[in-house]
Chain A
Amino acid sequence: MELVTPSIGLVFWTALAFICLLVLLRKLAWKPILGAIHDREQSIDEALNKAELAKQEMTRLTAQNQDLMQQARAERDEILKEAKTLKDSILNEAKKQAQIEGAKLIEKAKIEIENQKKVALAEVKGQVSTLSLEIAERILRNQLDDKAKQEALVANLLKDVELN
């Protein structure tokens, strides 16, 4: 039975070649290939996990952003409201102040006007008296130039006095 009888030569060469192949491939191919495949699978796994984490982080951040946004909006509204009330109050205050101030000014102006009027009246009075005196003097002088007239006047005066 030639077919099922292993020949020594072929057994020898096969064994030798197979062992060499095993050693060679182990060092040359399988170590780097299996190592690389393993590393890559690891890195893919890692990347997927990271992606998952990133996704979660994203949703978390989005929710946070939403919250922040809402808060900010509320705060803005609050601030705006406050500002408005503040503005209104300031305006009102200012108006009131202005009114008071205006009233005071008007009062003052009135007093001033009164004072001025008094001063002016006093002055006018003085001037009137001076003028009357001057007029009286001039009249007196004119009348006193004449002796008759003087006597008339004196007589007149005396008459007045006497009447008094």
Chain B
Amino acid sequence: MDCNQVFVLKVKKVIFVFTLLIAFLSIRNDTFAQVESAVSPDSVVAESAHAVSGEHGATEHGEEKFEPTKVIMEHIADSHVWHLWGHTSIPLPVILYTSGGLEVFSSANFHHGEHDYQGKYNKYRLVTGLKQSMTKDMFNKNIKVVGADGQIDEAASDTVIDFSITKNVAAMFIAIALIVIVFSAVAAGYKKRVGKAPKGLQSFFEPVIIFVRDDIAKPNIGHTYAKFMPYLLTIFFFILFNNLLGLVPIFPGSANVTGNIALTFVMATATMLVVNLNGNKYYWKHILTPDVPWWLYPIMIPVELIGIISKPFALMVRLFANITAGHIIVLSLISLIFIFKTLAIAPVSVAFVLFMDVLELLVAFLQAFIFTLLSALFIGMAVEEHH
């Protein structure tokens, strides 16, 4: 397969670039020591910390120590504001389902977590980033109920369910809007030029659609593939668009949508439902009465039943881990500049980030492809006729 060739090439390039980096780092101490001493260290720190706060929406001041883990985790995790640059950010609506009823207000009321907000039913506080992950909270709540004593009331917080339009939700909506616009335009092209050769956007997406049909759906599902085409195409383009938008570092992108376990959980659940709701008698017979001696049933049936869950579970983790890892690597490379506290490392970081972005571009397509391919494969196993 040509994919292997690509990977071999990539690995060779990675080795080459890493060699360059090591060489660069070894000479760095000697060459750039003078540069560092020439520039006041404090100003560099302040500058870099400010830049970080500008890039990642941390509200700490320039003098604060740079914590790459915090910055990266803040990006990877969801957020109630969409940070653009500097101190500019888009406040997103907060929707809380409390025991009293729905609470809807703007996240601007929190002033980046500096203020508490008195809602209709409770007083709320925005708990950000790392601080939050320290608490062993099951539902990943960033918004906490503040008790009368000014402390977080964990018991009350547990009753509040957060349905906010967070950064990931907003980014997902943008991606969906984009998908709908793009494919309406493509469909319009087909209506306008009936039976003619495709043109423009239409000719860009037609090979991809045909690829999904001829190389994913047909070989894996068989003659009933047409029924599953809308689902496969939708997951393919939904994942692809979200992956690609996640690579864009400025506003419409930058969210880690497909690298969020909630989204991959929903996608995997959807595949699981499609597979099991379409499973025919052969599929269920294979699970419930496997072709083994009867005394193996106590082992085999649980294994098969676990298989129902484990297949989509693998889908969920694969997509989540791949995309999150890509984002973490890119951010780590950028963080190098601030860890070394020098601009001299910037070209190396940028070169690496460029390389990683190109790799991520491949991964974006690859993961969309793999998710769709495996979904088609599982569907194919469930609807297979002959046994």
Q: Please list the residues of chain A having a beta carbon within 8 angstroms of any beta carbon in chain B.
A: 1-15, 17-18, 20-22, 24-26, 28-37, 39-40, 43
> Could you tell me which residues of chain B, from 123 to 157, have a CB within 8 Å of some CB in chain A?
132-133, 137-141
Binary contact track B331-352/A, C-beta < 8 Å → 1, others 0: 0000000000000000000000
Is residue B209 within 8 Å, beta carbon to beta carbon, of the partner chain? yes
B183 pairs with A3, CB closer than 8 A: no
Is residue B7 within 8 Å, beta carbon to beta carbon, of the partner chain? no
Is residue B213 within 8 Å, beta carbon to beta carbon, of the partner chain? yes
Chain A residue at smallest Cβ distance from B142: A7
Chain B residue at smallest Cβ distance from A21: B176
B267 pairs with A25, CB closer than 8 A: no
Can you list 9 contacts pairing A with B, beta carbon distance less than 8 Å?
A2-B133, A4-B320, A7-B78, A17-B176, A25-B179, A26-B230, A33-B183, A34-B213, A37-B190
Size bin of chain B's contact surface: 35 or more
B206 pairs with A14, CB closer than 8 A: no
Given A6-B265, A8-B161, A37-B206 in contact, is the A43-B195 Cβ separation under 8 Å?
A: yes
Q: How far is the CB of A130 from chain B (nearest CB, A)?
A: 120
Chain B residue at smallest Cβ distance from A25: B234
Chain A residue at smallest Cβ distance from B328: A3
A5 pairs with B234, CB closer than 8 A: no
CA distance A4 to B183 in the complex (A): 32
A2 pairs with B132, CB closer than 8 A: yes
A22 pairs with B261, CB closer than 8 A: no
Is residue B377 within 8 Å, beta carbon to beta carbon, of the partner chain? no
Is residue B315 within 8 Å, beta carbon to beta carbon, of the partner chain? no
Known: A17-B176, A21-B180. 19 other contacts (CB 8 A): A9-B161, A9-B163, A10-B260, A10-B263, A12-B163, A13-B169, A14-B267, A17-B169, A17-B173, A20-B176, A21-B176, A22-B230, A22-B234, A26-B234, A30-B234, A32-B191, A33-B187, A33-B190, A40-B195
Binary contact track B218-242/A, C-beta < 8 Å → 1, others 0: 0000000010011101100110000
Q: For chain A, what secondary structure do more than half of its interface residues adopt (helix, strand, loop), or is it mixed? A: helix
B209 pairs with A18, CB closer than 8 A: no
Cβ contacts under 8 Å, B260 to chain A: 6, 10
Is residue B272 within 8 Å, beta carbon to beta carbon, of the partner chain? no
CA distance A2 to B135 in the complex (A): 9
Cβ contacts under 8 Å, A21 to chain B: 176, 179-180, 234, 238
B180 pairs with A24, CB closer than 8 A: yes
Cβ contacts under 8 Å, A5 to chain B: 137-140, 261
Q: How far is the CB of A38 from chain B (nearest CB, A)?
A: 9
Q: How far is the CB of B146 from chain A (nearest CB, A)?
A: 20
Top 3 closest A-B pairs, CB basis? A36-B190, A29-B183, A10-B262
CA distance A85 to B187 in the complex (A): 77
B195 pairs with A39, CB closer than 8 A: yes
Q: Please list the residues of chain B having a beta carbon within 8 angstroms of any beta carbon in chain A.
A: 73, 76-78, 95, 132-133, 137-141, 161-166, 168-169, 172-173, 176, 179-180, 183-184, 186-187, 190-191, 194-195, 206, 209-210, 213, 226, 229-231, 233-234, 237-238, 260-263, 265-267, 269-270, 320, 324
Given A21-B179, A30-B229, A34-B229 in contact, is the A3-B77 Cβ separation under 8 Å?
A: yes
Q: How far is the CB of A158 from chain B (nearest CB, A)?
A: 145
Q: How far is the CB of B175 from chain A (nearest CB, A)?
A: 9
Given A7-B139, A17-B173 in contact, is the A33-B77 Cβ separation under 8 Å?
A: no
Q: How far is the CB of B206 from chain A (nearest CB, A)?
A: 7
The residue in A2, A4, A8 that gathers the most chain B C-beta atoms within 10 A of its C-beta is A2
A9 pairs with B164, CB closer than 8 A: yes
A33 pairs with B173, CB closer than 8 A: no
CA distance A5 to B139 in the complex (A): 7
B180 pairs with A8, CB closer than 8 A: no
Q: How far is the CB of A48 from chain B (nearest CB, A)?
A: 14
Q: How far is the CB of B68 from chain A (nearest CB, A)?
A: 16
CA distance A10 to B166 in the complex (A): 8
CA distance A61 to B363 in the complex (A): 57
CA distance A31 to B186 in the complex (A): 12
Cβ contacts under 8 Å, B138 to chain A: 5
Instruction: Give the residue of A1, A15, A31, A36 whose beta carbon is less than 8 angstroms from that of B266.
Output: A15
